[in-house]
Amino acid sequence: MIAPRFVNMNRFHRWYCGTGHWRRHLTGAILPQAIAGVDLGDQVLELGPGRGASTAWLRTATSSLTSLELDPDLAAALEQRFGDVEIVHGSATAAPFDDASFSGVVCTTMLHHVPTAAEQDQLFREARRVLTRDGVFCGSDSLSTPIFRLAHRGDVMNVVDPDTLPDRLAAAGFTDIRVTRGSDFFTFRAGT
């Protein structure tokens, strides 16, 4: 059976995610807010790194980073680019890792590419399952704005409502949940 491709991006979107403009926004605004004050620990799992802008930033924030990417072409490109990061091709809804394998799980601006709310909830359960006791799950996703919707025309786009996210994370077994809105994105963090 072939795994479904959650990362279904139109040409513009795929191009934009490789630009310096996006990298600066992600690493200058989104990631610092998502990770601020969070101790990720020594074993961190990144979900859905895409083209690797967040990977480049996260690998300096921990001693061991594993990145799980569904798209086989993107996973292969990440393997060539990052020799110091373990790149795993697979789905975040069925993470190929043992229970309690990671001290931190991070996902940035990828949840809206997971096709259904049920699959997003499964991703949350998998993040909880692979976290150690006292682990942390944190990240971000985009708010639905006119520009965001235009850039995602033809993409898989299932926007997460930040107002309902705390209840969804609690249902997956997380505690100490915080969601914070930014200008065009929100950040979240939750503990085990």
Residue 1 has pLDDT above 70, yes or no: no
- Amino acid present at 2: I
Upper half-sphere CA count for residue 44 (Cβ side, 13 Å): 27
User: Which pLDDT does position 2 carry in this prediction?
Assistant: 35
Nearest partner of 108 among 6, 26, 3, 22, judged by Cα: 26
pLDDT band at 96 (very low <50, low <70, confident <90, very high): very high
Residue 31 has pLDDT above 60, yes or no: yes
Q: Out of 73-77, 100-104, 151-155, give the one with best mean pLDDT.
A: 100-104
- The mean pLDDT of 125-129, rounded to a whole number, is 98
pLDDT band at 82 (very low <50, low <70, confident <90, very high): very high
Nearest partner of 109 among 31, 21, 15, 189, judged by Cα: 31
Dihedral (C-alpha) 160, 164, 168, 174: value to the nearest 10 degrees?
A: 110
Please report, in angstroms and rounded to a whole number, the separation of the first and last CA atoms in the chain: 33
Share of the chain above pLDDT 90, in %: 68
User: Which pLDDT does position 8 carry in this prediction?
Assistant: 64
Top pLDDT among 93 and 144 is at 93
Helices (H), the chain: 11-16, 20-25, 31-35, 53-58, 72-81, 117-130, 146-151, 165-171
Q: What is the pLDDT of residues 160-176, one digit of tens each?
A: 999 999 999 999 999 99
Share of the chain above pLDDT 70, in %: 96
User: Which pLDDT does position 145 carry in this prediction?
Assistant: 75
Residue 77 has pLDDT above 50, yes or no: yes
pTM for the model stands at 0.91
What are the residue boundaries of the structural domains of the chain, listed by start?
41-93+100-191
CATH number, span 41-93+100-191: 3.40.50.150
User: Which pLDDT does position 5 carry in this prediction?
Assistant: 42
Q: Return d(Cα 184, Cα 101) in angstroms, integer.
A: 32
